């Protein structure tokens, strides 16, 4: 479980996050949604410690993360897997080396054991046999999946995904979504997914938080989000004609 308490972050006069509090439960896909530029990525970066919040607390299973010193933070981070908005694979390494990288850095596994683990992870994301390609030789959708494989190679307790399906076709999107949901359930981890794709939200979101004007404007389940009377969230959810028709049909 990850708990965020009263977290605020500004860049100069730009108050991006204001007093955000939320709980992300274990074994669930927790979603952060909101308009572009609303501060979703900034929130995720504050939570994992890539940015320093101005005030507030972040707790990983009741341990205060912000107050930790660097060594303690590193211990927590070894349990965090993160999928970046752009994939962030290491260009200079093959797919297999990318996945094995955290293992070589932090475990004493033998080369053959690491290979087995890499193969397992690749199979899990349906990319068996792509071990020796370089990231530049793979497609955008494959890169996302490789990044997921790398994120789960250390068997993390917490998984962050920043827009896992941006730039992907609807079918590939669904493959990635399902992958994230299945991994969350199988490994019983706390997953946080940032998205603006309503499809994914309805499909895999167990718990949803909507950021608006830097605040935690609304939170609830995917059922609740379709029926809420909250004006701002309706504007967001029913922005597309498709969702509007869907709503009318449901009503």
Partner 1 sequence: MGEIYYHIGRYSMLIFRVFSKPEKFSIYRKNFVQEIDKIGLSSIGIVSLMSTFIGVVIALQTASNIDSPLLPAYTVGFTVRQSIILEFSPTIIALILAGKVGSNIASEIGTMRVTEQIDALDIMGVNSAAYLILPKILAAIFIFPFLIIISMFLGIFGGMLISWITGIVTVNDYIYGIQYDFKPFSIVYAMIKTVVFAFVITTISSYFGYFSKGSALEVGRSSTAAVVYSSVFILLLNLILTQLILI
Ligand X SMILES: Nc1ncnc2c1ncn2[C@@H]1O[C@H](COP(=O)(O)OP(=O)(O)OP(=O)(O)O)[C@@H](O)[C@H]1O
* Sequence-distant (≥ 6) Cβ neighbours of residue 144 within 8 angstroms: 83, 87, 164, 165, 168, 176
Does position 42 bind ligand X by CB under 6 A?
yes
Does position 138 bind Mg ion by CB under 5 A?
no
User: How many residues belong to the site for ligand X (CB under 6 A)?
Assistant: 12
What does the CA dihedral 14, 220, 180, 184 come to, rounded to 10 degrees?
A: 120
Q: Does residue 245 sit in helix, strand or coil?
A: helix
Residue owning tokens 């959708």: 141
Q: Which does 106 bind (CB under 5 to 8 A by kind): ligand X, partner 1, Mg ion, none?
A: partner 1
Cβ atoms of 58 and 3 closer than 8 Å = yes
| From candidates 11, 90, 106, 242, binder to ligand X by CB under 6 A | 11
Does position 11 bind partner 1 by CB under 8 A?
no
Does position 41 bind Mg ion by CB under 5 A?
yes
Does position 165 bind ligand X by CB under 6 A?
no
Residue 200 beta carbon to ligand X: minimum distance, rounded to whole angstroms: 13
Does position 63 bind partner 1 by CB under 8 A?
no
CA distance 17 to 31: 17
Q: Which of these ranges, 15-23, 74-82, 203-211, 227-235, lies near partner 1 under the rule CB under 8 A?
A: 74-82
Residue window 142-161: x/- pattern of binding to partner 1, with contact defined by CB under 8 A: ------------x-------
Q: Tell me which residue of 168, 198, 162, 196 sits closest to 180, measured CA to CA.
A: 162
Smaller CB distance to partner 1: residue 146 or 198? 146
Task: Give me the residues paired with residue 161 across strands.
Answer: 83, 193
Q: Which of these ranges, 31-39, 89-97, 199-207, 222-230, lies near ligand X under the rule CB under 6 A?
A: 31-39
Does position 80 bind partner 1 by CB under 8 A?
yes
CA distance 140 to 244: 30
Q: Which of these ranges, 35-43, 100-108, 218-226, 234-242, lies near ligand X under the rule CB under 6 A?
A: 35-43
Smaller CB distance to ligand X: residue 24 or 101? 24
Smaller CB distance to ligand X: residue 35 or 131? 35
Smaller CB distance to ligand X: residue 150 or 196? 196
Does position 195 bind Mg ion by CB under 5 A?
no
Spell out the alpha helix ranges (H) of the chain. 40-48, 70-77, 95-106, 111-124, 140-152, 170-187, 198-204, 222-227, 231-237, 241-250
CA distance 4 to 64: 10
Give φ, ψ of 4 to 5 degrees: -110, 130
Q: Name the site residues for partner 1 (rule: CB under 8 A).
A: 45, 48-50, 73-75, 77-78, 80, 82, 84-91, 101-102, 104-106, 154
């Amino acid at each position: 479980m990850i708990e965020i308490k009263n977290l605020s972050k500004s860049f100069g006069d730009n108050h991006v996050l204001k007093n955000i509090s939320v709980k992300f439960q274990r074994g669930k896909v927790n979603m952060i949604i909101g308009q572009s530029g609303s501060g979703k990525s900034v929130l995720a970066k504050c939570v994992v410690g890539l940015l320093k919040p101005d005030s507030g607390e972040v707790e990983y299973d009741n341990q205060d993360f912000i107050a930790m010193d660097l060594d303690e933070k590193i211990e927590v981070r070894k349990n965090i897997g993160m999928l970046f908005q752009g994939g962030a694979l290491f260009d200079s390494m093959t797919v297999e080396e990318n996945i094995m990288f955290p293992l070589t850095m932090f475990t004493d596994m033998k080369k053959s054991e690491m290979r087995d683990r890499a193969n397992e992870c690749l199979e899990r994301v349906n990319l068996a046999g792509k071990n020796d390609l370089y990231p530049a030789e793979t497609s955008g959708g494959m890169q996302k999946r490789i990044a997921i494989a790398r994120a789960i190679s250390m068997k993390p307790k917490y998984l962050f995904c920043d827009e896992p399906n941006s730039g992907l076709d609807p079918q590939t999107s669904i493959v990635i979504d399902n992958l994230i949901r299945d991994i969350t359930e199988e490994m019983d981890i706390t997953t946080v997914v940032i998205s603006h794709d309503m499809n994914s939200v309805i499909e895999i979101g167990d718990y949803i938080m909507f950021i608006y004007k830097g605040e935690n404007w609304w939170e609830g389940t995917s059922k609740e989000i379709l029926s809420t009377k909250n004006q701002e969230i309706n504007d967001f959810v029913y922005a597309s004609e498709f969702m509007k028709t869907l709503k009318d049909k449901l009503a």
